[in-house]
Amino acid sequence: MATARKLPSGSWRVQLYDYTDEKGKRHYRSFTASTKKQAELLAAQYNIEEKRIQSEGTFLEYAERYISQRTSVLSASTVREYTGYLHRHLTKFGKNKIARITQEDVQEEVNILAKGLSPKTVRNVHGFISAVLAAYRPELALHTILPKNIPPKLYIPTESEIQRLMEYVKDTRLELPVLLAAFGPMRRGEICALRAENIDGCVVHVCENMVLNKDNQWIIKAPKSYAGDRYIEYPQFVADKWKGRSGRIVEMKPSQISDHFADVLKKAGLPKFRFHDIRHFSASIQHAMGIPDAYIMERGGWKNDGVLKQVYRHALSDQSKQMNKKLNDYFQNYAT
């Protein structure tokens, strides 16, 4: 039983561990009373009630509580993802009593999810399940077998494709977003949230991001990671495009950028790729110029080099094809 401690005010307080947040900070519930006995009684009553709730509560109830307690420290997009997992993928699993969930239950759920979802999504959903169980069933150590991750297939637009794209968006509302992504590189949400007051000459301070919250409403928040807050110095021809603008310099939402971008690719006769892939073009150009990875990561707001390695691998694969063709053409001279 927890022991009450006397406070400077003369009251007595008992603190009971409640949960640990995403940053590793432990949170406690406090029970204060005028006497030591009363404070300890309040804590004991709470403990009894918590055990009763835990024995009866479902995974869904505890998962919603988990999200609610961490709303202030999680990004809006993460809250939206977690909420989506509950209502799209875990409707049946969520009905399980959390006190009765076993490793076998979790493995069975992962097996079911793996039949219709990508390995990455399955791993993300499992990560959420693990986090909730770690918070409210810390004694349950999971050793789930997860589907093997498949490296994403990245598309890196060529210089000629970017030049053709720039021709088609010239003097349209999509011109500035394309330039900010290709020569920054900035993400869609960062572009849509960018305000004139965060620009000084050719230097852009990326300090806000437009994202969907759990209610599917576009909101502007700080970047999801520390690496996302950065300064980017653009070439003068890009800076000329935002001169004289005030407020948000791109009056579009991320979804509108994607929709318009898809239409432009079709009209320009360009291969189908995502607006986000323009960032890969920027990274590959910097890499080809011999710019250090640390600088490329800083400019693009990448917190690790995982994406860069995928981009480089793709670029090297293209070069390898060219070299193989050159070599085989030479060997062809030996044909008899």
- Is residue 75 domain-shared with residue 36, that is, in the same domain? no
**Final residue of a domain: which of 136, 171, 193?**
136
Q: Per the domain annotation, does 334 fall within a domain?
A: no
Tens of pLDDT, residue by residue over 326-336, are 777 777 777 65
Contact indicator for 23, 10 with CB cutoff of 8 Å:
no
pLDDT of 18 > 90? The answer is: no
Q: Per the domain annotation, does 148 fall within a domain?
A: no
Q: Per the domain annotation, does 327 fall within a domain?
A: no
- Residue range of the domain that includes 25: 5-56
d(CA 311, CA 180) in angstroms, rounded, equals: 19
Q: Per the domain annotation, does 333 fall within a domain?
A: no
- Is residue 271 domain-shared with residue 175, that is, in the same domain? yes
3 state DSSP class of 75:
coil
- Is residue 83 domain-shared with residue 27, that is, in the same domain? no
- Is residue 282 domain-shared with residue 236, that is, in the same domain? yes
**Widest CA span of the chain, in angstroms?**
103
3 state DSSP class of 248:
strand
- Is residue 99 domain-shared with residue 186, that is, in the same domain? no
Lowest mean pLDDT among 80-84, 90-94, 150-154, 271-275: 150-154
pLDDT at 127: 96
pLDDT at 166: 94
- Is residue 83 domain-shared with residue 184, that is, in the same domain? no
- Is residue 188 domain-shared with residue 290, that is, in the same domain? yes
Report the pLDDT averaged over residues 143-162: 86
Lowest mean pLDDT among 145-159, 228-242, 312-326: 312-326
Tens of pLDDT, residue by residue over 283-322, are 888 887 888 888 888 888 887 777 677 766 555 455 556 6
- Is residue 97 domain-shared with residue 29, that is, in the same domain? no
- Is residue 220 domain-shared with residue 85, that is, in the same domain? no
Chain Cα centroid distance, residue 260? 23
Q: Per the domain annotation, does 39 fall within a domain?
A: yes
pLDDT at 117: 93
pTM: 0.65
Q: Per the domain annotation, does 280 fall within a domain?
A: yes
75 vs 128, higher pLDDT: 128
Q: Per the domain annotation, does 9 fall within a domain?
A: yes
pLDDT at 262: 94
Average pLDDT in the chain = 87
3-state SS of 31-60? EEECCHHHHHHHHHHHHHHHHHHHHHCEHH
d(CA 174, CA 168) in angstroms, rounded, equals: 9
pLDDT of 114 > 90? The answer is: yes
Q: Per the domain annotation, does 192 fall within a domain?
A: yes
Report the pLDDT averaged over residues 33-45: 90
d(CA 3, CA 40) in angstroms, rounded, equals: 7
Q: Is 117 exposed, middle or buried (0-12, 13-18, 19+ CB in 10 A)?
A: middle
pLDDT band with cut points at 50, 70 and 90 for residue 171: very high
- Is residue 273 domain-shared with residue 300, that is, in the same domain? yes
Could you give the number of structural domains in the chain? 3
pLDDT at 209: 92
pLDDT at 13: 93
- Is residue 276 domain-shared with residue 255, that is, in the same domain? yes
- Is residue 163 domain-shared with residue 286, that is, in the same domain? yes
* CATH code (residue 183): 1.10.443.10
